[in-house]
A and B are shown apart, each in its own frame.
Chain A
């Protein structure tokens, strides 16, 4: 397979194939969610189509919130696409129910896709019972964005962002400015997967874990964020704001520090009219555990897809470190340890996120992750609204989560 750079003009597309196969290229249907036109998938598809003539990718852009629904419909009706990009925590739900094609053999024979090259977390998300059903496309994790200008204005050193929970709280207190409508800290706590994604780092940093939600560590983690809201350091609206809405508020200059992922970078660089920086997530003072939550998308091939071979070839193509390097332009981190972007955009942010990848933990993989996530979402909201104390809320959540984990451990 020839590799093409993204800058190859379309004029070069006319018949520059290394393969001399004269047959009509087979169509590989791809459903993806990436609407940012600088995403690596667009260049990738073009280069793939040009570099060989056996397969042609036919993409369909599905709205992000609809991709799971559409995939379910496809499975239900028996008309599945050949390739889908799925959010990593739900892959196990699909693979455990036998709705995805087993790719283990293809991986064994692959030149590029070697399990030990991948970060453990992303690779694990596509595994089920020792077989591979999903190949990570990209990865992301959370960092702490902060407004350096605001730091300076309050006499704080922007080169010394908060490193521990207590420092974070103190900084939030100092940076909070009701007169200017500025909150100290922002994070997402909606009744959705995002809310759990943003809270899990706190849980893990406190030494807690999903199978021990009724333990004091978990309660401490929930108490911390509850205090942030109840003491006015973070807005009560975090219950209702999705991650990017919180980031929007940060970019508008109404939050001093906010937890966010690398997908925000393309917008941040254009819309934030102040000096912004990224720090790694803080650690809990007495635990000093570095932990972060893993996100990202996996390529999956639904069961019954017509072009498994073609689909896998595209996955391989997109897993080439050269292509993955391009992913950073839209804020996507390569899920492989051998991908290190030279001279990246937003270098400080890249160094931070890339460094965090070594301790980013996946959610699951567990086939009933949505049923585990939901009680946690409820607990977070109960604590933040004051309906229940963090300990009680988590106890209730544990009562729902433990039976599921008893049947199938994490």
Chain B
């Protein structure tokens, strides 16, 4: 049947172009791989040794926690703000569509440039953030956004939320377009006010899209590291380090490829859990 052909085409494509590289990394995570044997396909098998080494690395637990916080905050903020912005700009007022389009400007820029911009904005001494906040008397002294271990994660989170929200907003906006007009007309004839319409029509219809967007944002944020690399390189003291960046550092800066692959696989497991959860929610929806 044609539908199966459609499905097969996409799945095969993904399996070849992403699946195979992932298998390579998973295999590498159970081997001992250094510069000397990285070009071989057969390397010493060390079972879960790399995973144990990763787990025992003092940075690892910090990084795991950071990743959880970073992703959690991003998902809530991006979907929430994205939804709010999508709803607002769906109103009919002059310039609404142009303004919404402009917001995507943040997403166009390469992560390297965005990282540099936010690094400058958050610089303690010459950064605009401290400059504006002190002028507005919202803070008394400069905040060490990127050089204080207790604040750096917040700083990169803000930057990443800024970077990714327009993406979420546009997807939600697209979802909004598929809600039939009649439902609103019928509701307002019944006397429902704007808030009721929002709660009882918009959100329920939008729910599958919101969940899908949340899922995507989770995954994108879990693997994002270019931005953090550009802003803080994970520092100071790993306070803004996240799993994919740690994996990169282990592999390409310290040349412990097996351990780096193992750390990368941890993310894999977490996302697997998220993906399965997502699919569970779909099962409920199709039964409804």
A241 to B36, CA, bound (A): 33
Taking chain B's interface residues, is the majority helix, strand, or loop, or is none over half, making it mixed?
Answer: loop
Q: Answer whether residue A249 sits at the interface, using C-beta atoms and an 8 A cutoff.
A: yes
Query: Chain B, 113-125, contact with A by CB distance < 8 Å: what is the 0/1 string?
Result: 0000001000111
Least CB distance, B194 to chain A, in whole angstroms: 46
Which residues does chain A contribute within 8 Å of B80, judged by CB atoms? none
In the complex with contacts A94-B35, A97-B35, A237-B254 CB distance below 8 A: no
Which residues does chain B contribute within 8 Å of A20, judged by CB atoms? none
Indicate if the CB atoms of B237 and A97 lie closer than 8 Å: no
Which residues does chain A contribute within 8 Å of B147, judged by CB atoms? 236-240, 385
In the complex with contacts A190-B233, A374-B254, A381-B235, A236-B35 CB distance below 8 A: no
Indicate if the CB atoms of A76 and B126 lie closer than 8 Å: no
Least CB distance, A337 to chain B, in whole angstroms: 32
Query: Chain A, 62-85, contact with B by CB distance < 8 Å: what is the 0/1 string?
Result: 000000110010011110000000
Query: Chain A, 201-243, contact with B by CB distance < 8 Å: what is the 0/1 string?
Result: 0000000000000000000000000000000000111111100
Indicate if the CB atoms of A237 and B252 lie closer than 8 Å: no
Least CB distance, B111 to chain A, in whole angstroms: 13
Indicate if the CB atoms of B35 and A381 lie closer than 8 Å: no
Instruction: Return the contact of A381 from the options B38, B124, B125, B236 (Cβ within 8 A).
Output: B236
Least CB distance, B117 to chain A, in whole angstroms: 14
The number of chain B residues with a CB under 8 A from chain A is 27
CB under 8 Å from chain A, chain B span 222-237: 232-237
Which residues does chain B contribute within 8 Å of A76, judged by CB atoms? 38-39
Query: Chain A, 167-189, contact with B by CB distance < 8 Å: what is the 0/1 string?
Result: 00000000000000101000000
CB under 8 Å from chain B, chain A span 299-345: none
Interface centre among A94, A192, A378, A385 (most CB of B within 10 A): A385
Instruction: Return the contact of B235 from the options A93, A99, A191 (Cβ within 8 A).
Output: A191
Instruction: Return the contact of A75 from the options B38, B236, B251 (Cβ within 8 A).
Output: B38
A371 to B250, CA, bound (A): 10
Which residues does chain B contribute within 8 Å of A371, judged by CB atoms? 254
Indicate if the CB atoms of A191 and B144 lie closer than 8 Å: no
Q: Answer whether residue B34 sits at the interface, using C-beta atoms and an 8 A cutoff.
A: yes
Which residues does chain B contribute within 8 Å of A18, judged by CB atoms? none
The number of chain A residues with a CB under 8 A from chain B is 36
Indicate if the CB atoms of B34 and A237 lie closer than 8 Å: no
A370 to B255, CA, bound (A): 8
A98 to B255, CA, bound (A): 14
Which chain B residue has the least Cβ–Cβ distance from A182? B125
Indicate if the CB atoms of B35 and A239 lie closer than 8 Å: no
Indicate if the CB atoms of A75 and B39 lie closer than 8 Å: yes
Indicate if the CB atoms of B233 and A192 lie closer than 8 Å: yes
Indicate if the CB atoms of B148 and A385 lie closer than 8 Å: yes
List chain B positions with a Cβ less than 8 A from chain A. Answer: 34-36, 38-39, 119, 123-126, 144, 146-149, 232-238, 251-255
Closest 4 interchain pairs by CB? Answer: A191-B235, A97-B36, A97-B35, A239-B147
A/B interface sample: 27 pairs, CB < 8 A? A72-B251, A72-B255, A76-B39, A94-B35, A99-B36, A181-B125, A183-B125, A191-B233, A192-B233, A235-B124, A237-B123, A237-B146, A239-B147, A239-B235, A240-B235, A240-B236, A241-B123, A249-B125, A252-B126, A254-B125, A254-B126, A381-B236, A385-B147, A385-B149, A385-B237, A387-B149, A387-B237
List chain A positions with a Cβ less than 8 A from chain B. Answer: 68-69, 72, 75-78, 93-94, 97-99, 181, 183, 190-192, 235-241, 249, 252, 254, 370-371, 374, 378, 381-382, 384-385, 387
